[in-house]
Amino acid sequence: MWQWRKACARAGQWLGTVGGRGEGAARAGNAGSPAGWSGRSWARWWTRWTGAAMLGALLLSGCASTVTTDVTAFRQPGWQNDPPRTYAFEAEKGQGQQEQQAQLDRATYQNWIADALAGHGFTQVARSQARYLVSFDFDADPRLVRVHETYYPDPWYPWGPYWGPYGYYRPWGPWGWGPGYWPPQTVIRDVPATLASLRVFIREAAGNKRVYQVTAQNLSEGSTMPGLMPYLVRSAFAEFPMESGRPRRVTLEVDKNAR
């Protein structure tokens, strides 16, 4: 899920390396004296520095610290979620040995849902004693998401700034620092992403009537179902029971141990 971790680390190392080179060059040139560096040296230094800064900004923007999930719930009119809150998970039917082995992830997710229900006063019991039956399903749908990215072109490339008789001769833009006559550029690209979904259903064991259902979805780049499921479960039960038919957006902090 967090494919940006290594990229962010590499960006930090590169930025540190570039900074060290810049300081060393300045010392070699008498602390940045105009006579110390030629125009070509400045060009190489500036191209390296701006490139590192731009890459670092891009990578750091991808080091997400939160997970945002869209949650929608529906409930039976008149259902008050009053006690007793006893439940049992519905058993899976018609599964062979291979299918059972593939459901080890499902057993883990079921335990997470049980913990979330326990936090709202629900008690898991035998099916014969349960007031409610709980079921759930989940899926991960890969897709392409169109992203609009804006950046400022570098007007110094490929020459870089150079020293004139009064210091810097080439400013950023014709009238000093700022975008000047170089407007921002927009790039449109398709990014591979995954729409992860969790749906939980609660129905009465006696009358077989569904009383509550909730859907939690997250769309993100490079995510996986195991990585997102803890946040989907927590988001689905963040405001349990939610108002019927009113979408909510739940933002959770990323577990530092999972990054």
188, 215, 240: which is the final residue of a domain?
188
Whether 103 has a pLDDT exceeding 80, the answer reads: yes
Whole-Å CA distances, 216 to 45, 69, 198, 228, 237: 48, 6, 5, 11, 9
Token pair in block for residue 141: 């749908």
Residues 197 and 228 in one domain: yes
The arithmetic mean of pLDDT across residues 113-132, rounded, is: 97
Residues 59 and 120 in one domain: no
- Residue 203 sits in which domain range? 66-145+191-258
Residues 112 and 196 in one domain: yes
Whether 244 has a pLDDT exceeding 50, the answer reads: yes
Q: Tell me which of 95-109, 170-184, 210-224 is least confident.
A: 170-184
Report, in angstroms and rounded to the nearest whole number, the Rg of the chain calculated over CA atoms: 28
Q: How confident is the model at residue 199 (pLDDT cuts 50, 70, 90)?
A: very high
The pTM assigned to this predicted structure is: 0.63
Q: Are 195 and 223 in contact (CB under 8 A)?
A: no
Residues 197 and 217 in one domain: yes
Report the mean per-residue pLDDT for the chain. 74
Total number of domains in the chain:
2
Of 12-16, 20-24, 147-151, 219-223, the range with the highest mean pLDDT is 219-223
pLDDT tens digits for 42-68? Answer: 444 444 444 444 333 333 334 579 999
Token pair in block for residue 24: 């060393």
Q: What does the angle CA 149 – CA 150 – CA 155 come to, to the nearest 5 degrees?
A: 140
Residues 204 and 100 in one domain: yes
pLDDT tens digits for 177-198? Answer: 444 456 778 888 888 899 999 9
Task: Give the DSSP letter of residue 34.
Answer: T
pLDDT tens digits for 105-122? Answer: 999 999 999 999 999 999
135, 156, 188: which is the final residue of a domain?
188
